[in-house]
Amino acid sequence: MEFSEWITKKYLEWRGDSIGNVRSITRFASMLRVPQQIMNAWMSPGSDGPIKKKYIDALITQYGDEVYDVLTDLTRDGNIPISHLPPSLRRRLIQATQEVNTALADSGIAAEDPIAEQITIQIFEKHGFKYTATETE
């Protein structure tokens, strides 16, 4: 099912079938915390659906894992997949990731091992990615 069909179905379910029901698309969009213009675009045939994470999060909050089944380009962790990156960056990222996986497997090093981070940083920098240390919790 395409996203436009799915969101239209969700709207019709939310609206209900009662005559004189005042549940408009505007109210449906408001309930999902999405601008009406975006909701109208989503309901247009062939719509790919949301791109902005805040709208994806709003849909996941309301409809749960079902959203992942409709938004086929969405990963279960809620991140936009690498398929949305520019092609040259995507190729470099895939190459770097494959090289890291091979290097760790060939060395018998687990991803959790502190040396794995150093190997990963070196490989990613070789592919043009700059590493910046940040504090994590």
Helical H segments across the chain, by residue range:
3-15, 25-31, 36-42, 53-63, 66-70, 87-107, 114-126
123: pLDDT strictly greater than 90: yes
Residue 131 resides in a domain = no
Where do the DSSP E strands lie in the chain? none
Full-model pTM? 0.52
State the average pLDDT over residues 1-8. Answer: 87
Domain that holds residue 17: 3-81
Last residue of a domain, one of 81, 98, 115: 81
Count of CB atoms within 10 A of residue 22's CB? Answer: 7
The confidence score (pLDDT) of residue 30 equals 92
Please tell me the total count of domains within the chain: 2
4: pLDDT strictly greater than 60: yes
Pair (33, 100) in one structural domain: no
Question: pLDDT tens, 33-83?
Answer: 999 999 999 998 887 777 677 888 888 889 887 887 777 665 555 566 666
Pair (15, 70) in one structural domain: yes
Residue 136 resides in a domain = no
Pair (77, 10) in one structural domain: yes
Residue 17 resides in a domain = yes
Query: Alpha-carbon distance 23 to 36, whole Å?
Result: 13
